[in-house]
């Protein structure tokens, strides 16, 4: 291995100093160990790992990582402008953050620039942006290995190879795979996390561009390419171009790796020595919640440790009773004693606040020194306890960087204690209203909105079940140490409903964030969450509560006030004056517009979370027209009704839990169905090959 590697290196070093543009340019990286910036130029988040593996992106959202051969190469004959033949051979791997969900992919590219200005991540793979898409002056050629199906670019599926010319809409594409012999095609799962080898060969005499794939484990290059596309690259390429890789992540993310790369102009690329390529870093077991199926060994271990824990509890006075079925539950089950010690006996000094459902204490585990927030919920009924706990189990499996993670729980008599990640900066409302300690800048506010949007998108569309939050508001948005917005209390509203009278449901939520239809139907839906999110967006921009009891009558309801300003073309007057006019006007207008759209009284008129996220990301233009929130309302004018509501809850009592009934058996909103049969996440994102 060392020998082959050294050989590759030597070749690079030999080539590098005498780099005159020639029609026989060639290079060869059998692993990138010791390869410096001069030999391969990296930009974005691309990094060389110690093992010699090139990592283009990690699994954080919306990154771009690129690696290019540092010098431009001569791609065309200077005298007649005819493109040269070339051949490239490389090995790559895509390791997704969540199994089966890639984001977004990587591309082999020949480009004017090593760092295209204004290029976007996500579906643009760091190559182009929404305004230059399809423009002939891009001079961008790419072979994409795409793991997300973008309908915008007519992607065939979420596991394809495509040839892109000046656009992200592929000229030719095929499901990733290879020909074992001339007839039988075998699929390859790009995001399997395994190394894959690929060849891109262009022959300028026949104008044929071939792309060939195969698993790294298969020995020889398949005789038949997966794509063979007839194209003359002469007008697309310039005389000199850069060659390399570009990769990006979006809302969903993967780590993209390249372990070896060889390239040759006017001849076949040298074969990589597959046996000596660097290996992928070991698997991270970050998202165990998503992986289904715990191995027997782990199960035995867990049961063993829980049993020993029980043994301990039993010896403690005031022991909390553990029933057999509770042993099967996922998130960590703490003993009451542990939590009592962590919160110093639930001392008032440790009280962080009163959440919608009970008191919240700060806790520190003495051994690990980890800080947690412990939420104490008292239940009025012992009924349905098993369902209660199975709900906790499913909440515990929700994992997203913009959610406050549930760490574990503890049950003691009628009390339930939930243990969450501790958020050092507390809740968002403390930064917005009254006299905040610190005024959030627009950048911080926008980041918080986008974070919460991405967390909510996960709850609404990306998890195995649809989760309705039901109580979106500034005090349920917590800020971590980097002031990222994270949604708290998700799943709790629904959890709270278990054990309540069948046939009655409680409208859980907070006045001002409550969608008008909720007070009629009592049915929480994704669009009622959107209403709450709309109110949240407006208050973050305006620095005001959705209903400000102390305000002048015409300013009482935030959304009406904003609409009034908006319709008179003075929307910017609604912006929080404490930012001293220091903000990005376009972003502010975008958020106000979205806030108004989400505040529509007609549930159908509100955008979905997915749409909101793509508007916020600037990937899609928002519709120009916004109508008054009450205008699209069908039937009776709930606007008045909503006002009445306000007047009957003056001043401080904005927390509202009311009761309404709906006919039993008609509670078939999907959200409340016990379990949706398939783990269908984003449409088209389920890998059918699994």
Ligand X SMILES: *[C@@H]1O[C@H](CO)[C@@H](O)[C@H](O)[C@H]1NC(C)=O
- The string of DSSP codes covering 399-421 is --TTBPPEEEEEEETTEEEEEEE
Query: Positive or negative, the Cα torsion across 356, 358, 362, 368?
Result: negative
Minimal distance, residue 169 CB to ligand X, in Å: 5
Q: Which residue reads 């003359």 in tokens? A: 232
The neighbour count for residue 663, using CB atoms within 10 Å, is 7
> Has 576 been annotated as catalytic?
no
Task: State which residue, 126 or 225, has the beta carbon closest to ligand X.
Answer: 225
- Residue 215 vs 618, nearer CB to ligand X: 618
Contacts of 592 by beta carbon, 8 Å cutoff, 6+ apart: 537, 538, 541, 562, 566, 571, 574
Q: Tell me the closest approach of the beta carbon of residue 614 to ligand X, in angstroms.
A: 15
Contacts 24+ apart (CB under 8 A), 654-657: 654/510, 654/511, 654/512, 654/545, 654/547, 655/356, 655/510, 655/511, 656/507, 656/509, 656/510, 656/511, 656/514, 657/506, 657/507, 657/508
Q: Which is nearer to ligand X, 208 or 322 (CB)?
A: 208
Q: How far is the CB of 509 from ligand X (least distance, A)?
A: 34
How far is 263 from 90, CA to CA, in rounded Å?
9
| 226 SS3 class | coil
Q: Are 655 and 356 in contact (CB under 8 A)?
A: yes
Radius of gyration from C-alpha coordinates of the chain: 29
Tokens 């979905």 correspond to 608
Q: Which tokens belong to 213?
A: 């794939």
Within 10 A of 136 (CB to CB), how many other CB atoms are there? 11
Instruction: Give the count of beta carbons closer than 10 Å to the beta carbon of residue 314.
Output: 10
User: How far apart are alpha carbons 690 and 549 in whole angstroms?
Assistant: 55
Minimum CB distance to ligand X, residue 411 (Å): 34
- In terms of CB distance, is 97 or 471 closer to ligand X? 97
Residues paired with residue 260 on neighbouring β-strands, in sequence order: 91
Shortest gap between Cβ of 666 and ligand X (angstroms)?
Answer: 45
Nearer to ligand X, 37 or 324 (CB): 37
CB of 106 to ligand X, least distance (A): 16
Q: Is there a binding annotation on residue 375?
A: yes
Angle (nearest 5°) at CA 15 between 11 and 18: 155
Shortest Cβ distance from residue 357 to ligand X (Å)?
32
What whole-number distance in Å separates Cα of residue 507 and Cα of residue 354?
A: 19
Whole-angstrom Cα distance, residue 38 to residue 289?
Answer: 42
User: Based on CB atoms, which residue is closest to ligand X, 285 or 437?
Assistant: 285
The phi, psi pair for 197, rounded to 5°, reads -105, 150
Q: How far is the CB of 454 from ligand X (least distance, A)?
A: 15
Cis previous bond, 541, omega within 30 = no
Contact 607, 595 (CB under 8 A): no
Q: How far is the CB of 22 from ligand X (least distance, A)?
A: 9
User: Are residues 82 and 238 in contact, defined by beta-carbon separation less than 8 angstroms?
Assistant: no
Nearer to ligand X, 169 or 421 (CB): 169
Contact 72, 237 (CB under 8 A): no
Q: How far is the CB of 63 from ligand X (least distance, A)?
A: 6
Residue length, the chain?
Answer: 690
Considering the complex, state which of residue 458 and residue 531 has its C-beta at the smaller distance from ligand X: 458
DSSP state of 547: B
CB of 405 to ligand X, least distance (A): 15
Backbone angles phi, psi at 270, to 5 degrees: -60, 145
- Cβ proximity of 419 and 410 under 8 Å: yes
Nearest alpha carbon to residue 405 among 437, 373, 444: 373
Footprint of ligand X (CB under 6 A): 23, 45, 58-60, 77, 79-80, 116-118, 129, 131-132, 135, 137, 165, 167, 169, 171, 201, 203, 208, 210, 224-225, 228, 231
CA–CA separation, 680 vs 52, rounded Å?
Answer: 37
- Closest to ligand X by CB, 222 vs 595, is 222
Name the residue whose CB lies closest to ligand X: 118
26: CB partners within 8 A, 6+ apart? 15, 262, 263, 264, 265, 267, 269, 270
**Other C-beta atoms within 10 Å of 79: how many?**
6
**Do the Cβ atoms of 139 and 112 come closer than 8 Å?**
yes
Catalytic residue among 150, 201, 471, 489: 471
Structure tokens at 639: 């606007």
Rank residues 77 and 500 by Cβ distance to ligand X and give the closer one.
77
Checking DSSP bridges between strand 254-265 and strand 54-57, what pairing results, if any?
antiparallel
User: Between 130 and 337, whose beta carbon lies closer to ligand X?
Assistant: 130
Max intra-chain CA distance, the chain: 91
Q: Which residues contact 581 (CB under 8 A, 6 or more apart)?
A: 575
Beta strand spans in 217-272 (E): 227-230, 240-248, 254-265
Catalytic residues: 471
Binding-site annotation: residue ranges for ATP: 375
Please report, in range form, the residues annotated as the binding site: 375
């Amino acid at each position: 291995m060392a020998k082959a590697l050294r050989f590759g290196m030597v070749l690079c070093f030999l080539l590098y100093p005498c780099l005159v543009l020639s029609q026989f340019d060639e290079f060869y990286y059998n692993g990138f160990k010791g390869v410096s910036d001069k030999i391969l130029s990296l930009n974005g988040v691309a990094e060389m790992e110690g093992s010699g593996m090139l990592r283009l992106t990690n699994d954080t959202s919306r990154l771009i990582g690129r690696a290019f051969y540092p010098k431009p190469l001569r791609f065309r004959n200077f005298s007649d402008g005819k493109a040269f033949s070339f051949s490239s051979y490389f090995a790559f791997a895509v390791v997704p953050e969540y199994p089966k969900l890639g984001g977004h992919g990587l591309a082999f590219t020949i480009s004017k620039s090593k760092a295209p200005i204004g290029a976007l991540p996500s579906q643009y793979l760091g190559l182009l942006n929404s305004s230059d898409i399809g423009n002939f002056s891009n001079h961008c050629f790419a072979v994409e290995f795409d793991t997300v199906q973008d309908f915008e670019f007519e992607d065939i599926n979420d596991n394809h190879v495509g040839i892109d010319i000046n656009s992200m809409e592929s000229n030719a594409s095929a499901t990733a795979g290879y020909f074992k012999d001339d007839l039988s095609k075998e699929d390859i799962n790009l995001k399997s996390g395994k190394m894959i080898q690929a060849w891109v060969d262009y022959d300028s005499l026949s104008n044929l561009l071939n792309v060939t794939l195969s698993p790294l484990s298969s020995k020889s290059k398949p005789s038949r390419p997966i794509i063979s596309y007839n194209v003359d690259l002469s007008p697309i390429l310039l005389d000199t171009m850069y060659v390399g890789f570009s990769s990006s992540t979006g809302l969903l993310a993967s780590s993209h790796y390249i372990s070896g790369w060889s390239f040759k102009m006017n001849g076949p690329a040298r074969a990589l020595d597959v046996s000596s390529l660097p290996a992928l870093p070991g698997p991270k077991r970050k998202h165990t919640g998503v992986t289904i199926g715990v191995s027997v060994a782990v199960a035995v271990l867990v049961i063993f440790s829980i049993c020993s824990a029980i043994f301990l509890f039993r010896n403690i006075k005031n022991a909390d009773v553990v029933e057999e079925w509770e042993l099967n539950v996922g998130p960590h089950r703490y003993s009451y004693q542990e939590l009592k010690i962590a919160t110093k006996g639930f001392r008032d000094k440790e009280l962080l606040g009163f959440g919608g459902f009970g008191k919240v204490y700060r806790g520190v585990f003495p051994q690990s020194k980890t800080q947690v927030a412990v939420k104490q919920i008292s239940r009025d009924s012992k009924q349905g306890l098993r369902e209660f706990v199975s709900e906790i189990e499913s909440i515990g499996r929700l994992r997203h960087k913009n959610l406050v993670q549930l760490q574990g729980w503890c049950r003691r008599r009628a009390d339930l204690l939930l243990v969450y990640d501790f958020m050092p900066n507390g809740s968002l409302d403390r930064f917005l209203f009254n006299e905040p300690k610190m005024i959030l800048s627009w950048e911080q506010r926008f980041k918080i909105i986008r974070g919460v949007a991405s967390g909510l998108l996960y709850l609404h569309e990306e998890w195995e079940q649809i989760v309705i939050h039901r109580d979106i508001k500034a005090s349920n948005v917590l800020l971590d140490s980097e002031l990222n917005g994270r949604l708290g209390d998700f799943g709790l509203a629904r959890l709270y409903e278990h054990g309540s009278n069948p046939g009655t449901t409680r409208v859980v939520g907070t006045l001002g964030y409550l969608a008008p239809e909720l007070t009629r139907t009592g049915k929480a839906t994704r669009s009622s969450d959107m209403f709450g999110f709309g109110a949240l967006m407006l208050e973050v921009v305006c620095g005001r509560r959705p209903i400000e009891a102390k305000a002048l009558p015409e300013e009482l309801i935030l959304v009406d006030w904003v609409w009034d300003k908006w319709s008179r073309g003075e929307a910017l007057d609604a912006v929080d004056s404490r930012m001293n006019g220091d903000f990005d006007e376009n972003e502010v207008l975008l958020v106000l517009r979205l806030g108004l759209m989400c505040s529509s009284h007609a549930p159908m008129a509100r955008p979905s979370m997915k749409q909101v996220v793509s508007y916020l990301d600037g990937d899609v233009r928002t519709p120009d027209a916004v109508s008054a929130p009450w205008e699209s309302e069908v039937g009776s004018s709930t606007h008045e009704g909503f006002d009445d509501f306000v007047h009957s809850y003056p001043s401080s009592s904005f927390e509202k839990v009311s009761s309404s009934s709906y006919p039993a058996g008609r509670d078939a909103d999907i959200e409340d169905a016990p379990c949706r049969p398939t783990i269908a996440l984003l449409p088209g994102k389920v890998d059918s090959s699994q």
